[in-house]
Amino acid sequence: MCGIIGIASNKSVTSNIINSLKRLEYRGYDSSGVATIDDNTINEKKCPGRVEELEKLLFNSPSSGNVGIGHVRWATHGLPNQINAHPHSSELVSVVHNGIIENSENLKQNLEKDGYKFKSQTDTEVITLLLTKFLKKFSPLDAVYKTLEKLTGSFALGILFREHQNIIIGARRGSPLAVGYSNNENYLGSDSYALKSMTNKISYLDDGDVCVLTKDHIEFYDSKKNKKNKKVLILSEDKNETKLGDFKNFMSKEIFEQPFTSSNCINEYIDKIRNDINIIDFPLNPKKLNKIVLIGCGTAYHSCLVAKYWLEELTDLNVEADIASEFRYRNVKFNKSNLYVFISQSGETADTAAALELCKKNNVKTCSIINVVESTIARSSDWVLPIHAGPEIGVASTKAFTGQLLVVYILILKIAEIRKNINRKIFLEKISNLKKLPDLLKKSLKSEDKIQIFAKDFIDAKGSMFLGRGSSFPIALEGALKLKELSYLHAEGYPAGEMKHGPLALIEDGLPVIVIAPKDKYFEKTISNMQEVIARGGKVLLITDKKNEVINENIRFKLEMPYIESLLNPFLTTIPLQLLAYHVALLKKCDIDKPRNLAKSVTVE
Distance from C-alpha of 568 to C-alpha of 412, rounded to nearest angstrom: 13
Asked whether the beta carbons of 367 and 385 are under 8 A apart, the reply is yes
Task: Figure out which of the listed residues 51, 277, 396, 410 binds ligand F6R, where binding follows CB under 6 A.
Answer: 396
Does 192 bind ligand F6R (CB under 6 A)? Our answer is: no
Smallest distance from ligand F6R to CB 395, Å:
6
Binding letters toward ligand F6R, positions 423-462, x by CB under 6 A: ----------------------------------------
Choose between 31 and 349: whose C-beta lies nearer to ligand F6R: 349
Does 252 bind ligand F6R (CB under 6 A)? Our answer is: no
Smallest distance from ligand F6R to CB 432, Å:
30
Does 344 bind ligand F6R (CB under 6 A)? Our answer is: yes
Smallest distance from ligand F6R to CB 344, Å:
3
Asked whether the beta carbons of 194 and 5 are under 8 A apart, the reply is yes
> Which DSSP category does 316 fall into?
S
Q: Spell out a b/e string for 435-458, using b for 16 or more CB atoms within 10 Å of the CB, else e.
A: eebbebbbebbebbebbbebbebb
Give me the active site residues, please: 2, 600
C-alpha triplet 555, 469, 516: angle, nearest 5°: 35
Smallest distance from ligand F6R to CB 288, Å:
29
Smallest distance from ligand F6R to CB 586, Å:
16
Strands lying side by side in the sheet with 291-296: 318-323, 291-296, 338-344, 365-370, 383-386
Task: Figure out which of the listed residues 68, 298, 493, 576 binds ligand F6R, where binding follows CB under 6 A.
Answer: 298
Task: Figure out which of the listed residues 299, 325, 421, 566 binds ligand F6R, where binding follows CB under 6 A.
Answer: 299
The neighbouring-strand residues paired with 292 are: 319, 339
Does 402 bind ligand F6R (CB under 6 A)? Our answer is: no
Does 37 bind ligand F6R (CB under 6 A)? Our answer is: no
C-alpha triplet 481, 487, 493: angle, nearest 5°: 25
Q: Judging by DSSP bridges, how do beta strands 491-495 and 464-468 pair with one another? A: parallel
Select from 19-27, 52-60, 296-304, 509-517 the region that touches ligand F6R (CB under 6 A). Answer: 296-304
Select from 18-26, 181-189, 339-347, 410-418 the region that touches ligand F6R (CB under 6 A). Answer: 339-347
| Amino acid found at 445 | L
Does 70 bind ligand F6R (CB under 6 A)? Our answer is: no
Task: Figure out which of the listed residues 13, 143, 202, 300 binds ligand F6R, where binding follows CB under 6 A.
Answer: 300
Distance from C-alpha of 124 to C-alpha of 599, rounded to nearest angstrom: 19
Choose between 325 and 569: whose C-beta lies nearer to ligand F6R: 325
Does 349 bind ligand F6R (CB under 6 A)? Our answer is: yes
Choose between 394 and 438: whose C-beta lies nearer to ligand F6R: 394
Helix (H) or strand (E) holding 172: strand 168-173
Distance from C-alpha of 256 to C-alpha of 443, rounded to nearest angstrom: 11
> Which DSSP category does 260 fall into?
H
Does 345 bind ligand F6R (CB under 6 A)? Our answer is: yes
Choose between 321 and 481: whose C-beta lies nearer to ligand F6R: 481
Q: Per CB under 6 A, which of residues 539..598 are in contact with ligand F6R?
A: none
Smallest distance from ligand F6R to CB 483, Å:
11
Three-state DSSP class for residue 167: coil
Task: Figure out which of the listed residues 20, 120, 397, 526 binds ligand F6R, where binding follows CB under 6 A.
Answer: 397
Choose between 481 and 575: whose C-beta lies nearer to ligand F6R: 481
Task: Figure out which of the listed residues 101, 431, 602, 604 binds ligand F6R, where binding follows CB under 6 A.
Answer: 602
Distance from C-alpha of 123 to C-alpha of 136, rounded to nearest angstrom: 22
- In the chain, the largest separation of any two C-alpha atoms, in whole Å, equals 81
Task: Figure out which of the listed residues 85, 93, 297, 533 binds ligand F6R, where binding follows CB under 6 A.
Answer: 297
Three-state DSSP class for residue 357: helix
Three-state DSSP class for residue 448: helix
Asked whether the beta carbons of 487 and 581 are under 8 A apart, the reply is yes
- Find all residues with CB under 8 Å of 441, minimum gap 6, and list them: 258, 259, 262, 402, 571, 572, 575
Select from 142-150, 242-250, 344-352, 499-507 the region that touches ligand F6R (CB under 6 A). Answer: 344-352
Q: Spell out a b/e string for 93-120, using b for 16 or more CB atoms within 10 Å of the CB, else e.
A: bbbbbbbbbeebeebbeebeeeebeeeb
Distance from C-alpha of 533 to C-alpha of 174, rounded to nearest angstrom: 47
Smallest distance from ligand F6R to CB 354, Å:
12
Cα dihedral across residues 282, 330, 492, 320: positive or negative = positive
Does 325 bind ligand F6R (CB under 6 A)? Our answer is: no
Smallest distance from ligand F6R to CB 234, Å:
24
C-alpha triplet 369, 319, 399: angle, nearest 5°: 30
Q: Per CB under 6 A, which of residues 459..488 are in contact with ligand F6R?
A: 481, 485
Smallest distance from ligand F6R to CB 372, Å:
8
Query: Which parts of this chain interact with ligand F6R (CB under 6 A)?
Result: 297-300, 344-346, 349, 352, 396-397, 481, 485, 602
